[in-house]
Structure 1
């Protein structure tokens, strides 16, 4: 569904991505991991069209995305920190987005998120007055309510209470079961182990390890993903 061929990105003299080749398949949750400076944010923003690669190709549903922004209609993006028009109420934000983007809108999904996140009481409140956790719920709501085919979720459960986090995790897994493509990042390895099917682990702009969660844990000889990733990093930096 998303195919990346020989992707490079430089910022000045700094080479951030160094020939990435990757295929992201629907029906799976893929976690893109790596320490700060590994290139994962640049990779994701390149796919989203927020960063223009220096070289290489990106295909979404078989179409080259270079100079072609129509593919974005297939994508739902939940950033780590969402920026909203602060003087709008939540109701006004939803109505504005519906005016801009009607394709894919699913009122049942919207109502389900509003109900489980208990957002009814915030509908007439200004977005600037909402807590960080409530803004995170709003970000999830507007990402999922258009029922996209492809999800990019950056630290999706940050700031959520356990009940809301569990609900969102169920929805993330549900999308994979519906044959959607879900790509997420998280620094919480127990969460990645719970949610992800596959791991793409970047170091210094290259794919250092790629495989299923189970394969990576087993090959490391460790008992969980957090220890497996720590072992990979120790081997790299102590080599």
Structure 2
């Protein structure tokens, strides 16, 4: 489904990705690393926002930066507030429905809105919402659609514990449909709970590819071993 072949993209000497080789096929993979390690670059390359300096990225055998690449196959929740803040929730939902043009999408949208207790008929502007409510709106819209690939970049940022639990249940439902999910997070517990595979990025390089179905693996210990973190009792 997704393949990075010897991919390098460097914006500065210390920002980007180096020599990435990875295949992802109908699985939920977590991407872990501190700020500036290359997580966002991985996602932006996958979405075709940038062309690699070296190598190729293929999605369903199509190059991600080619004219034949179709972003409609991908649902994306970014870490940033990338919604039009000046229009109302109701008008934005109406616009999204015209893009999707699907009765199933409309039904799923209403179902998710009810679960999150989110009024999609509200005439309040998106810009007046809290960061948590904006995040809920992004999740509702992206997961209501039936896509082949779902990309979540820090998806639980700003969410309360109940909303985080709801989101985890949504992830499990998507996984049951054998979809590909890319889950980028600083929160290791979320990766362990929601993913069956994880990659650790350090200094713009993938340093570890971990099968989380192996119960002998402790993801926190693996992560700390690469970043020399100490337990609190050693502080």
Whether the TM-score (by the shorter chain) exceeds 0.5 is yes
1:58 alignment counterpart: 57
Q: Structure 1 residues 201 and 103 mapped into 2: Cα distance closer, same or farther (>3 Å)?
A: farther
Deviations 1:120-147 (A, max 9, x none): 2762211111111110100101111222
User: Displacement, 1:21?
Assistant: 0.5
Q: Structure 1 residues 121 and 111 mapped into 2: Cα distance closer, same or farther (>3 Å)?
A: closer
Kept after mapping to 1: 8 A contact 2:28/2:175: yes
Deviations 1:181-231 (A, max 9, x none): 01111111111111110001111222100021244x735xxxx42233112
1:115 alignment counterpart: 114
Map 1:179-198 onto structure 2 (within 5 A). Answer: 179-198=178-197
User: Displacement, 1:155?
Assistant: 1.1
User: Displacement, 1:149?
Assistant: 1.2
Deviations 1:84-139 (A, max 9, x none): 21221111111112223436961222011110111127622111111111101001
Measure the CA separation in 2 of the matches of 1:104 and 1:231.
49
Measure the CA separation in 2 of the matches of 1:75 and 1:141.
15
User: Displacement, 1:151?
Assistant: 0.5
Q: When the two structures are superposed, what TM-score results if normalisation uses the length of structure 2?
A: 0.89
**Please, which of 216, 219, 223 is the counterpart of residue 218 of structure 1?**
216
Map 1:50-129 onto structure 2 (within 5 A). Answer: 50-68=49-67, 70-102=69-101, 106-120=105-119, 123-129=122-128
Kept after mapping to 1: 8 A contact 2:6/2:21: yes
Measure the CA separation in 1 of the matches of 2:6 and 2:100.
33
Measure the CA separation in 2 of the matches of 1:137 and 1:185.
17
Q: Structure 1 residues 174 and 225 mapped into 2: Cα distance closer, same or farther (>3 Å)?
A: same
User: Displacement, 1:42?
Assistant: 0.6
Q: Structure 1 residues 13 and 200 mapped into 2: Cα distance closer, same or farther (>3 Å)?
A: closer
Are 2:132 and 1:133 aligned?
yes
Measure the CA separation in 2 of the matches of 1:185 and 1:212.
16
2:42 alignment counterpart: 43
User: Displacement, 1:52?
Assistant: 1.9
Measure the CA separation in 1 of the matches of 2:194 and 2:210.
14
Measure the CA separation in 2 of the matches of 1:103 and 1:22.
34
2:143 alignment counterpart: 144
Measure the CA separation in 2 of the matches of 1:157 and 1:101.
24
Map 1:12-31 onto structure 2 (within 5 A). Answer: 12=12, 16-26=16-26, 28-31=27-30
DSSP-derived class of the 1:148 partner: coil
RMSD: 2.1
Q: When the two structures are superposed, what TM-score results if normalisation uses the length of structure 1?
A: 0.88
**Please, which of 209, 234, 238 is the counterpart of residue 228 of structure 2?**
234
Kept after mapping to 2: 8 A contact 1:90/1:122: yes
